[in-house]
Structure 1
Amino acid sequence: MSVVTHREQVPPVEQALAFIAGEVETAVADLGRMISVDTTFPPGLGYDDFAGLMEEMVSALGFAHERVVVPDALWQVPNGPASGRRTNLVATRRSGKPVCGLYFHVDTVPAAPGWQHDPLRLTREGDRLIGLGAADMKGCIAAILLALRAAQACGVELAYDPMLLFCTDEEGGLYPGIRYLAEQGRLEGHILNFNGSAEPRIWAGCFGLFNLLVRVHGQAVHAGEGNRMGSGANAIEGALPLLNALAALKARIATRVSALPPPPGKPPLAAQLNIATIQGGTAGGQVPALVEITLNRRYAPEEQFETVLAEIEETVRRSISLSPGLSVETALVGHLAPTADPTGPHWPRWQAAVGKGFGYALGDFRKWGAASCSDFGWVQRTGMQEILLGGLGRPSRNIHAPGEHTTIPDTVSLAQAVLSYLAADFRPELIPETLPPRT
């Protein structure tokens, strides 16, 4: 008489979920290696190095991979903030099943002043995993690789062939990698975007943004001669009317409220204008000849990009005209289009998988949008409307700020959610590709 072991009685999916919890330290180690590769944007110089690291990790899981470089002509701006090759990595493992794209942006924002730890070195404090990109979104990559490793180790049959998309310039770039892949027809099936939240959320879409570089030119002379030349030659002083005008415009823009549903308990979502960077001058003994200002405008889906850009450019021109001896130029250096409502037939199953991984009940989920932005507005413009959203974001995670972190429990939960979603045996009645056609 044969003996059936306990392990044989446990379904492969449940074995894989347990595997994830037991092997999470491998994900922590992976995350440490990822954080140590500097992919800050701007400028975005580390994309080739990061692609090399990902090639090593996905090859061990049986994925073929290809580097796809965005042509320079699409993203380069003379004297702009971006530089280096825009190297994206597409990894596939095909068996003939429908494709599910798993999207990650590999860039991070630059480390802001105030970090108490080395931002490019993973620091562990209890369950906290601290480092630049830990939550947004290298931690997501580590979690999904752990999920795929668990499926392989436990023999889980997948409902979808995963396509891993490691993409550039999401943090406000002029031509994000996922846009290029979409416009080149390189995307297949449907996509899970991990630039989102670990909370029970159904995505309603988000704002668009653009970054406008404003250069105010004056005339460099000896500082002792500055008064004789007139204040208009001082680019910094001459830009003061512009800064005042932008502050007034910022207040007016903030009154423009969107119909996009806000997060629970939060005020209505409103348009935003921020002075993001300002640089100028060389030394105390010289009148500054150049000041550069980066403006970040987050615009609601109800607003038109051309209109809001023209409004800012007119404010710039009018303000600088008040300062004799100065000239001004502007350059668009980043643009993400708004993302429209991305719901579709795969959302109910993704919602169930998130509930499985994080322990949420169906009634916990709420639908909301955000003034934060996504590069998937460009994807939608190519015809792929449905975009699933998940991730490791939470309000307490200091994303884009000193001390950015995620946690080991959330890493496990996200990996378990993705494993559940990809597994053929999880809620098969919710797999759209196998449902009978509607009559």
Structure 2
Amino acid sequence: MISQGIPVDRSQPGLAGAFAAIDGMAETAVEELRKLVAVDTSFPPGAGYDAFAGVMEQLARPLALDCERVIVPEDLWRAPGARGPRTNLIARRRSGRPVLGLYFHVDTVPAAPGWATDPLQLSRDGDRLTGLGAADMKGSVAAALLALRAAQQTGLSLAYDPMLLLCTDEEAGLYPGVRYLAEQGRLEGHILNFNGSAMPRIWAGCFGLFTLTVRVRGTAAHAGEQRRAGANAIEAALPILNALSALKPLVAQRTSALPPPPQAAGPLTASLDISAIHGGQCGGQIPSLVEILLCRRYAPEEDFAAARREIETAIRQAAGMLDVEIILTGHLMPTSDPGGPHWPRWQQALSAGFGYAAEDFARWGASGCSDFGWVQQATGLQEVLLTGLGRPDSRIHAPGESTTLTDIVALAKSVLAYLAAEFCPELSPEAITPEKDFARCRP
């Protein structure tokens, strides 16, 4: 067990003692995060999921969590750029209590150029921890493990059986792992989603997203003989790129009624981005293929089929007689209002961990996306709690992505408070209590 040899102060009873244990064992979270960051789970291609599941099994079993791998069939997720088994891990405890699902996506975006350090080696500068996925969202995994370890070390009684859901292909994948789990009836209880921020936020839902890969084909030839034999695919794609550039500002005019974040300058808007272009091999050869990756974020008020059709129509009108193929390579549905009866208790737990006051909380949505729209559709489960480690300075999806040990500790305390049987029982929908004692909402 990773926490062997770490002294735990058992003089403080209950949740207060467990909070003290989190403080005393905080450095174990750094070492575990180091192990998690070292596994390359970048998507595309998503080839590291098996290895990540292996590391998580080593960390979860000492916490009395039973582990099960669930692999998404390849015919569901196969798309250009994706390879390797889609291995999801369920790590859970069964005692007959109500279940709390703790959801994490284990994939990261690929490391962009510009990292000053090795993105797969966690670096530390005082309180700040930098590495690919440190904030989104491997640091949250380390925080949850820290919370469960503190509960184990102190014998804290829990109100819920934790079920960790470590899932694949959230970063714009064609068939996210949690969607497969939902459709297979593998989700239980209610769910705490760690794909959010470390801020006093009440989640109002989010946009959907889909990606299209556009393939434009030409004819390869010697660059010195192109007039007779070659057709340059990159040059042929220029009218398509121009058409997409013209469509982009029209898409951006579409706004959503979702409440924007407090720091936003205006309403949330739809977007269309040309995210990647690949083509050509060398200067002496006419390129025969160019691939263009498009990313479209669409508001809950928009229709996915209409949004996709608009892009494909613009492409085909610009392409004329060109040989063009358009492939759907990723899709996350919008998440509709995820409010529900567990949110008041979760707000109290966030306050216990991070020190927020009731007046700090605000309700807002996001043009960022989640795979929980699929969960809502597959299960009818509407309520989804949200948390995470994102902050404005976290640089998520950018070089230098980071979190802080302070936030990991605060998140661990929030999770542990929510799990604890003694914490705000009068706010638990599963508990029947004739009296209200709101003083018990603080450790």
Give, in whole Å, the separation in 2 of the partners of 1:430 and 1:296: 41
Specify the alignment match of 1:28 in structure 2.
30
Q: Does 1:242 align with 2:240?
A: yes
Specify the alignment match of 1:358 in structure 2.
354
Q: Counterpart of 2:44 in 1: which secondary structure?
A: coil
Specify the alignment match of 2:153 in structure 1.
153
**8 Å CA contact 2:350, 2:414 repeated in 1:** yes
Specify the alignment match of 2:267 in structure 1.
268
The 5 A counterparts of 1:61-76 are 61-76=63-78
Give, in whole Å, the separation in 2 of the partners of 1:222 and 1:117: 41
Q: Counterpart of 1:381 in 2: which secondary structure?
A: helix
Query: Deviation digits for residues 115-146 of structure 1, max 9, x if unmatched?
Result: 00000000001100000000000000000000
Give, in whole Å, the separation in 2 of the partners of 1:49 and 1:129: 22
One-letter amino acid matched to 1:12:
G
Query: Deviation digits for residues 132-186 of structure 1, max 9, x if unmatched?
Result: 0000000000000000000011111000000010000000000000000000000
Specify the alignment match of 2:284 in structure 1.
285
Q: Counterpart of 2:249 in 1: which secondary structure?
A: helix
One-letter amino acid matched to 1:273:
L
Give, in whole Å, the separation in 1 of the partners of 2:58 and 2:285: 51
The 5 A counterparts of 1:192-203 are 192-203=192-203
Specify the alignment match of 1:407 in structure 2.
404
Q: Does 1:191 align with 2:188?
A: no
Give, in whole Å, the separation in 1 of the partners of 2:433 and 2:375: 28
Q: Does 1:166 align with 2:146?
A: no
Specify the alignment match of 1:91 in structure 2.
91
Give, in whole Å, the separation in 2 of the partners of 1:65 and 1:130: 29
**1:228 CA displacement:** 4.0
One-letter amino acid matched to 1:284:
G
Query: Deviation digits for residues 223-278 of structure 1, max 9, x if unmatched?
Result: 11223457xx2110011111111011001000000111100131210000000110
Specify the alignment match of 1:333 in structure 2.
329
**1:372 CA displacement:** 0.5
Give, in whole Å, the separation in 2 of the partners of 1:338 and 1:11: 43
Give, in whole Å, the separation in 2 of the partners of 1:226 and 1:365: 63
The 5 A counterparts of 1:129-148 are 129-148=129-148
Q: Counterpart of 2:250 in 1: which secondary structure?
A: helix
Change over 3 Å in CA distance of 1:212–1:190 after alignment to 2 = same
**1:11 CA displacement:** 2.5
**8 Å CA contact 2:426, 2:433 repeated in 1:** no
Give, in whole Å, the separation in 2 of the partners of 1:128 and 1:14: 26
Give, in whole Å, the separation in 1 of the partners of 2:216 and 2:183: 35
TM-score (norm 2): 0.94
Q: Does 1:13 align with 2:15?
A: yes
Change over 3 Å in CA distance of 1:8–1:106 after alignment to 2 = closer
Give, in whole Å, the separation in 2 of the partners of 1:427 and 1:111: 42
**1:425 CA displacement:** 0.4
Give, in whole Å, the separation in 2 of the partners of 1:251 and 1:293: 19
One-letter amino acid matched to 2:385:
L
**8 Å CA contact 2:97, 2:159 repeated in 1:** yes
**1:222 CA displacement:** 1.2
Q: Any stretches of 5+ residues in structure 1 without a counterpart?
A: 1-6
**8 Å CA contact 2:11, 2:17 repeated in 1:** no
**1:9 CA displacement:** 6.2
Specify the alignment match of 2:295 in structure 1.
296
Give, in whole Å, the separation in 1 of the partners of 2:318 and 2:81: 24
One-letter amino acid matched to 1:328:
V
One-letter amino acid matched to 1:381:
Q
Specify the alignment match of 2:440 in structure 1.
none
Query: Deviation digits for residues 58-99 of structure 1, max 9, x if unmatched?
Result: 10000111100000110113xx11000000001111110000
Q: Does 1:423 align with 2:425?
A: no
One-letter amino acid matched to 1:159:
A
Give, in whole Å, the separation in 1 of the partners of 2:263 and 2:292: 34
TM-score (norm 1): 0.95
**8 Å CA contact 2:104, 2:167 repeated in 1:** yes
Percent identity of paired positions between Structure 1 and Structure 2 = 65
Q: Which moved more, 1:427-436 or 1:273-282?
A: 427-436
One-letter amino acid matched to 1:275:
I
**8 Å CA contact 2:251, 2:271 repeated in 1:** yes
**8 Å CA contact 2:146, 2:412 repeated in 1:** yes
Give, in whole Å, the separation in 1 of the partners of 2:34 and 2:56: 13
Specify the alignment match of 1:124 in structure 2.
124
Specify the alignment match of 2:214 in structure 1.
214
Q: Counterpart of 2:197 in 1: which secondary structure?
A: coil
Number of residue pairs matched by the alignment? 424
One-letter amino acid matched to 1:259:
A
**1:8 CA displacement:** 6.5
Give, in whole Å, the separation in 1 of the partners of 2:153 and 2:263: 42
RMSD in angstroms over aligned alpha carbons? 1.2
Give, in whole Å, the separation in 1 of the partners of 2:406 and 2:159: 26
**1:436 CA displacement:** 6.8
One-letter amino acid matched to 1:337:
M
Give, in whole Å, the separation in 2 of the partners of 1:272 and 1:226: 37
Give, in whole Å, the separation in 2 of the partners of 1:313 and 1:138: 36
Specify the alignment match of 1:375 in structure 2.
371
- Match 2:254 to one of 241, 253, 256: 256
Q: Any stretches of 5+ residues in structure 2 without a counterpart?
A: 1-8, 435-443
One-letter amino acid matched to 2:393:
S
